[in-house]
Structure 1
Amino acid sequence: MSARNLLVELFVEELPPKALKKLGETFAAVLAENLVTQGLVDANTLKDTRATVTHFASPRRLGAHVANVLACAADKPVSTKLMPVNVGLDAAGNATPALLKRLAALGADESAVNRLRRAADGKNEVLFHDSIAPGTLLADGLQRALEAALEKLPIPKVMTYPDPSGEGWETVNFVRPAHGLIALHGAEVVPVSVLGLEAGRETQGHRFEARVSPVSITNADCYAPQMADEGAVIASFAERRVEIARQLQAAAAPLGLKPIEDDALLDEVTALVERPNVLVGMFEEAFLEVPQECLILTMKANQKYFPLLDTAGKLTNQFLIVSNISPDDASSVIQGNERVVRPRLADAKFFFDQDRKKKLADRVPGLAKVVYHNKLGSQGERSNKVELIAVGIAAMLGIEKLESSVSNAAKLAKADLLTDMVGEFPELQGSMGRYYAQHDGLSDDIAFAIEDHYKPRFAGDELPRSDVGVCVALADKLETLVGLFGIGEKPTGDKDPFALRRHALGVIRMLIERDLPLNLDALLFVAAGIRGFSEDVAGQVETFMFERLSGMLREQGYSAQEVDAVVGLKPQRLGEIPKRLAAVRAFAGLPEAPALAAANKRVGNILKKAEGGVGAVADSAHFVEAAEKALFAALGEIGPRADAAFAAGDYTASLQALAALKIPVDAFFDGVMVNADDPALKANRLALLNQLHRTMNRVADLSRLAA
């Protein structure tokens, strides 16, 4: 069984660029995994997929190179369970008709009866038929693997086109019409067919610059170098991406500039070219009067150019073009791209000039005509509620002097949705509001709050820059959460059409990272009240937010036990949570921690099972045992110290003070019967445990640390 490298390439018309990277990765991965399943590739050799599987993806091809593929898989022993012995054999030991029929179905005759194996199967003795299944031939296995790979491709939209084989009126369904198929095992063509195509060794190179047409691939290992040399194509998506990034830096460096960093744009451009050639273009400096966000977005979104920034991060009037051709004189290509980008920039300038003719404040009444949600009213109604919530938050923060700015910023925050620029580029909402507010002569507090009220937009995004921005951003996100929860639009599974998880994390980040003196329940109560929803809705949102908080903290490296111990208490001042987590981690390192955590868990279980009410404080006059007296005395000494540290915000000291309770707690459980026969004695001991439980669980629920 000879092992040689395998190459498969599907040659197609231009594939959707935003999906190409995923299409290439999936095609190669599923193909290789299917070959492993069939025994044609050793699973152990596939552990480091980077060494054994290479995926190729260009605008006109999907391919895979898999190392060490067998021409035929090894034979496999097969054991087939037939039936109980007493069913398959009669009293004389001869085969019954039922057994003969079963053997015939397996392709065995009566002579196989003597070779059947007996083995215990539960309480019965069962007959097994052992045989050897011949290994899968590569042609058969690759056929199945190819069909599986095509079936599992994440195709955005399927096309229907005539069968390339030209037989009858058959049609083929695929992402784009396919025109060629290569399947090489070493230098030999593997006879497989898909999408009406028979496998061969020929493909097409670059549309205009291929040195040879068609390109005949000598063997599986020659594919990439032959495509680069004869076909003028860098077939590997990863290599092409690296080459584009290198050329972008090389073109920008002599100018003292740097290309804008955008991984999504780099991926998309990599999917648009087969042989990249980076060129420098230029536009009139007059366009730089337009906010650079507008120019950058129109160049990236519409033309796939890489704008160039100076060392201060300011946009220049130069940009980089990733061309798919490399003529000796590139001036025509550059001039053509400059002609194309000019109308785009002119449109942006026109929108900007037109928008500034009308003040943001004059656009606010128009929000009443914009539907936000059919159950929640218009954007105008929503803006009014966001304004009320934002002003309420400002009052909670004690910044009444900024109340007017907060009110104005909230009122104007959505006004730019009615501008031509945001209508053309929705991604600029907020940013354009800031520019138009500054043009209207509004203060920077208001202008930046309009831009920042969408922040943080994504994980790692910066927070609003000012208190005014924080108030409006919190109000906007809280109103969204409460409003949509109130009408039952909650996230389910992986579906979150209104990005409520992102809104929740935005609120959490602002409360924690700005260490705001705000209680989460109070914020939600205000937002729910202004939206006209009950406290139950506020409670649902609170639960949802603590779930998001737990997930976020685990992603930051805290253990599940640490997170559960702190978040389980639902502390309403989220800004305290990092200090609480640090205190729990320090406490967990103490030698007394495991015993105290276990004791705390035991106390909690006892209190849960207690019937009737449990007293808050024990009465020392009712103590009988020395151990309960000692525990009461220890609580009297240690409790105030722990409480004082807690009140001062020193959570680490508060928890560490509890270490001294280990000895009296252990002695109590060793020598005291809590559930005494005397009801008064039992009630007093339960009150003592209740007192202990409160003292131990102010910072965190220490029972969550118990193993």
Structure 2
Amino acid sequence: MISASARPPEGGASSHGEDVAQRQEDTPISSDSSSTRPLLLELFTEELPPKALQALGQAFAAAVQAVLEKQRLLAAGCGLRAYATPRRLAVCLDAVLGRAPQQPYTEKLMPAKVGLDAAGAMTPALVKKLAAKGLGHLGAADLIRESDGKQDYLYARGVAEGATLQAGLQEALDAAIAGLPIPKVMRYQLADGVTSVKFVRPAHRLVALWGPDVVPVHALGLEAGRETQGHRYMSAGVIAIDSPQSYERQLQDEGKVIASFEARRAAIAAQLRQHEAALGATVGTDPEVDALLDEVTALVEHPTVYVGEFDPQFLAVPQECLILTMRLNQKYFPLFEPGTGRLTHRFLIVSNMQLDDPHNIVEGNQRVVRPRLADAQFFFDTDRKVPLSSRVQSLGQIVYHNKLGTQLERVERVRRIARYIAEQLDADAQLADRCALLAKADLGTSMVAEFPELQGIMGAYYAAADGEPAELVQALKGQYRIRLDAPVDVSSLAAAILFMAERTETLMGIWGIGLVPTGERDPYGLRRAALGLISAYEQLDAGGHLSASHAARLALPELLAYTASTFDTHPIAAGTADEVQHFIYERYRNQLANDYDRNVVDAVLAVEPPLHQVLARVQACAGFALRPEAESLAAANKRITNLLKKAEGEIGKVDTARLAEPAEQALAQTIARLEPEAQAQFVRGDFAASLATLAQARDAVDAFFTDIMVMAEDPAVRANRLALLAGLHGVMNQVADISRLAQ
């Protein structure tokens, strides 16, 4: 039975505090399995890590719910509300039982001849087994004897009492704390000066209420009660929670805390929109805005948004620098002109205090941000005094990887790769070389040292100030993109070449020294690099720099082989090019499988075609798979593949004089008629037409396999028929391995 408090007696003039004390000492909680009440569990702590808060809150609530569900302590349709503020994790469940319902059980124990002696008494082995299963109170007469078809077994059957809420909630609380996705655990000492515990932050209070009653659970050196704390500065003091239903209201009214993460986020977003409308500006729509909104939601319990501003002279600094320092360091929302996207000199502050006169808060924030903007201006002005090209040699002092040398050595490899790609595309090799030479030069600037996130972006600004070509500026600015998402035109060709050269060097170098991605780790972003390289091939094709009719142009195997040769001073493992090639195709397979049938994708990638042809081949193969001839031809092709595997020795050419049967003669004639047309269409890159032409072979193929025994007893006849099928197989599988469609 769970011992806890009951409702206060009616009548009398006791204070709220006296009522609470009496509740915690009086009537025990009902253990009726049909009785349900809301349950509240709250852990009050020091400030929790903001970037992890939302995940911590969701994990805490989900773990409590899962254990109580397993214990059958939740009524059907029980709702859940998760709460997370900078100083608390909490969960409220709508309908929780005081005791779980009784559950029938059947335990298979052991063979009767082992568990009972000749007189029918329990053997020591059975006594030990019963004790281990918590059934030591049972005797031989309480057991059931049944045959499993081979021998008699002893079974224990009965009805087990359901778990009590106290026991179930204690287990749920322990599991929730142990399973939290804590970024970094800290150890701290309890008030006794001896005991220490581990948690994400020191915990100070524990609330556990079932309806109005406290559930006596414990954790982290704390005993459960009903008292919590509100806002650090605006709260009226310690808050005694009456019941789970009043939790949110009491925290907001008495504690000035919005307990729900989602409600706080929505409140901040609404205030931001109000200020946007009043100022005729916008906070923007890029992903960083949402990420910042999540972070400030985790920093405040009572959000209020104020407007700040800085000296407009700072707008002469590249706006990326100002935006980054305001968002990253100060957690402000910079404001932009709606039409142009240009940064304004105003920003929005999300404060944890609501004041009638916020002058001091606004002025304090403006005073804090001013020196940061001044630092950015100083870095920008100072960096521009040295030409970007003069910084290249200093890259020799920066280690890229101890097995791959310095950044300068890496730059030299990327330069060679960029020139190779440019020559393959008939592009300006000198421009490509210059882009690669200056690509990493901004690593030595003060601005990038302060804000590493601005790599490439600052290089583009400094290159522009040095009078470098616009194409080079664009290449430097876009080199850290995840993927290319627009067709490559003349103006963006240099950028695409640098993008490809950098990713190819990364893939080959990092893979070649053994840092292969695993299921959980990919610290050098090789998966991302592979997808980026794939996107470059796609966009070069879309822009006309590569075409389906030029299969050999900038072929991936040759590009990887050339890249391997650039690691002459820091050799990489033999076979790296082949492994990276297979890795790239596998990444492409996973990407395409999101939009196309897996069998179609597998059929195309089985032949590892030129990367810029893959998408066109997949689309053609998808269309072919819908044709009525596809199923029959795919099955026949699969059969041909298996037959060719059984061939002994090298398969020769077809001897038409040995084609005696009408069906094999018809197939040979069909191949001779269709092959030139299908081949011409394939060479032109018209893969759909090539497959459509080959579809005309279905009748001849079906007739062949109906009438002809391929593996004839006569070795010469057998070899000739295999040669005929080998010719058909080669023609049919140029676009894709058609047999894969039969899987």
In the superposition, the TM-score normalised over structure 1's length comes to 0.94
User: Which 10-residue stretch deviates more, 500-509 or 417-426?
Assistant: 500-509
Partner in structure 2 of residue 265 of structure 1: 292
Q: Verify the 8 A CA contact 2:130 2:138 in the aligned structure 1.
A: no
Which SS does the other structure have where 2:612 is aligned? helix
Which of 446, 460, 465 lines up with 1:420 in the alignment?
Answer: 446
Shift of 1:575: 1.8
Which SS does the other structure have where 2:696 is aligned? helix
Cα distance, 1:568–1:17 mapped onto 2, change above 3 Å = same
Which SS does the other structure have where 1:258 is aligned? coil
Residue deviations 1:41-76 (CA, integer Å, cap 9, x gap)? 25x636xxxxx2221111010011122211111112
Which of 590, 594, 600 lines up with 2:627 in the alignment?
Answer: 590
Are 1:314 and 2:342 counterparts? yes
Partner in structure 2 of residue 177 of structure 1: 202
Report the Cα distance in structure 2 between the residues aligned to 1:111 and 1:291, rounded to whole angstroms.
81
Partner amino acid, structure 1, of 2:499: A
Report the Cα distance in structure 2 between the residues aligned to 1:107 and 1:424, rounded to whole angstroms.
64
Q: Verify the 8 A CA contact 2:486 2:539 in the aligned structure 1.
A: no
Shift of 1:110: 9.0
Partner amino acid, structure 1, of 2:366: E
Partner in structure 2 of residue 189 of structure 1: 214
Which of 20, 30, 33 lines up with 2:63 in the alignment?
Answer: 30
Partner amino acid, structure 2, of 1:546: Y
Residue deviations 1:300-352 (CA, integer Å, cap 9, x gap)? 11100011111211111111100111100112211111111000000000000
Shift of 1:190: 1.0
* Structure 2 segments unaligned to the other structure (5+ residues): 1-32, 547-553
Partner amino acid, structure 1, of 2:251: M
User: Which 10-residue stretch deviates more, 225-234 or 8-17?
Assistant: 225-234
Q: Verify the 8 A CA contact 2:597 2:622 in the aligned structure 1.
A: no
Q: Verify the 8 A CA contact 1:78 1:130 in the aligned structure 2.
A: yes
Q: What is the aligned length? A: 692
Partner amino acid, structure 2, of 1:275: H
Report the Cα distance in structure 1 between the residues aligned to 2:532 and 2:566, rounded to whole angstroms.
20
Are 1:81 and 2:108 counterparts? yes
Shift of 1:156: 1.6
Shift of 1:480: 1.1
Which of 679, 683, 688 lines up with 2:724 in the alignment?
Answer: 688
Q: Verify the 8 A CA contact 1:455 1:462 in the aligned structure 2.
A: no
Shift of 1:25: 0.9
Partner amino acid, structure 2, of 1:635: I
Which SS does the other structure have where 1:15 is aligned? coil
Partner amino acid, structure 1, of 2:649: G
Report the Cα distance in structure 1 between the residues aligned to 2:529 and 2:437, rounded to whole angstroms.
20
Are 1:552 and 2:591 counterparts? yes
Partner in structure 2 of residue 563 of structure 1: 601
Partner amino acid, structure 1, of 2:719: A
Partner amino acid, structure 1, of 2:419: V
Are 1:144 and 2:144 counterparts? no
Partner in structure 1 of residue 19 of structure 2: none
Q: Verify the 8 A CA contact 1:390 1:475 in the aligned structure 2.
A: yes
Cα distance, 1:438–1:107 mapped onto 2, change above 3 Å = closer
Which SS does the other structure have where 1:322 is aligned? strand
User: Which 10-residue stretch deviates more, 599-608 or 139-148?
Assistant: 599-608
Partner amino acid, structure 2, of 1:558: Y
Partner in structure 1 of residue 714 of structure 2: 678
Partner amino acid, structure 2, of 1:306: F
Cα distance, 1:487–1:101 mapped onto 2, change above 3 Å = closer
RMSD: 1.9
Shift of 1:106: 5.4
Report the Cα distance in structure 1 between the residues aligned to 2:198 and 2:246, rounded to whole angstroms.
31
* Structure 1 segments unaligned to the other structure (5+ residues): 47-51
Partner amino acid, structure 1, of 2:633: L
Partner in structure 1 of residue 540 of structure 2: 514
Shift of 1:248: 1.0
Partner in structure 2 of residue 223 of structure 1: 247
Report the Cα distance in structure 1 between the residues aligned to 2:402 and 2:151, rounded to whole angstroms.
66
Partner amino acid, structure 1, of 2:433: S
Partner amino acid, structure 1, of 2:326: M
Shift of 1:101: 5.0
Report the Cα distance in structure 2 between the residues aligned to 1:276 and 1:470, rounded to whole angstroms.
45
Any residues of structure 2 matched to 1:400-439 within 5 Å, and which?
402-439=428-465
Partner in structure 2 of residue 612 of structure 1: 649
Partner in structure 2 of residue 441 of structure 1: 467
In the superposition, the TM-score normalised over structure 2's length comes to 0.90
Partner in structure 2 of residue 49 of structure 1: none
Which SS does the other structure have where 1:68 is aligned? strand
Which of 133, 141, 152 lines up with 1:125 in the alignment?
Answer: 152
Cα distance, 1:353–1:105 mapped onto 2, change above 3 Å = closer
Partner in structure 1 of residue 27 of structure 2: none
Shift of 1:496: 0.9
Report the Cα distance in structure 1 between the residues aligned to 2:507 and 2:131, rounded to whole angstroms.
66
Report the Cα distance in structure 2 between the residues aligned to 1:105 and 1:291, rounded to whole angstroms.
72
Partner in structure 1 of residue 234 of structure 2: 209
Report the Cα distance in structure 2 between the residues aligned to 1:108 and 1:453, rounded to whole angstroms.
69
Partner in structure 1 of residue 401 of structure 2: 373
Partner in structure 2 of residue 334 of structure 1: 362
Q: Verify the 8 A CA contact 1:269 1:304 in the aligned structure 2.
A: yes
Cα distance, 1:461–1:85 mapped onto 2, change above 3 Å = farther
Partner amino acid, structure 2, of 1:13: E
Report the Cα distance in structure 2 between the residues aligned to 1:109 and 1:480, rounded to whole angstroms.
65
Q: Verify the 8 A CA contact 1:566 1:581 in the aligned structure 2.
A: yes
Report the Cα distance in structure 1 between the residues aligned to 2:488 and 2:683, rounded to whole angstroms.
29
Shift of 1:89: 3.1
Cα distance, 1:102–1:363 mapped onto 2, change above 3 Å = closer
Which SS does the other structure have where 1:307 is aligned? strand
Partner amino acid, structure 1, of 2:108: K
Partner in structure 2 of residue 6 of structure 1: 39
Shift of 1:193: 0.8
Report the Cα distance in structure 2 between the residues aligned to 1:483 and 1:595, rounded to whole angstroms.
45
Any residues of structure 2 matched to 1:604-643 within 5 Å, and which?
604-615=641-652, 617-643=653-679
Report the Cα distance in structure 2 between the residues aligned to 1:620 and 1:175, rounded to whole angstroms.
80
Report the Cα distance in structure 1 between the residues aligned to 2:646 and 2:520, rounded to whole angstroms.
38
Cα distance, 1:171–1:580 mapped onto 2, change above 3 Å = same
Q: Verify the 8 A CA contact 2:37 2:96 in the aligned structure 1.
A: yes
Which SS does the other structure have where 1:531 is aligned? coil
Cα distance, 1:275–1:110 mapped onto 2, change above 3 Å = closer
Partner in structure 1 of residue 77 of structure 2: 45
Partner amino acid, structure 1, of 2:377: K
Partner in structure 2 of residue 135 of structure 1: 162
Cα distance, 1:683–1:260 mapped onto 2, change above 3 Å = same
Partner in structure 1 of residue 582 of structure 2: 543
Are 1:242 and 2:242 counterparts? no
Shift of 1:411: 0.4
Any residues of structure 2 matched to 1:565-580 within 5 Å, and which?
565-572=603-610, 574-580=611-617
Cα distance, 1:271–1:103 mapped onto 2, change above 3 Å = closer
Report the Cα distance in structure 1 between the residues aligned to 2:599 and 2:437, rounded to whole angstroms.
44
Cα distance, 1:394–1:107 mapped onto 2, change above 3 Å = closer
Report the Cα distance in structure 2 between the residues aligned to 1:463 and 1:152, rounded to whole angstroms.
48
Write out the 4+ residue segments of structure 1 that deviate beyond 6 Å after TM superposition. Answer: 459-465
Shift of 1:225: 2.1
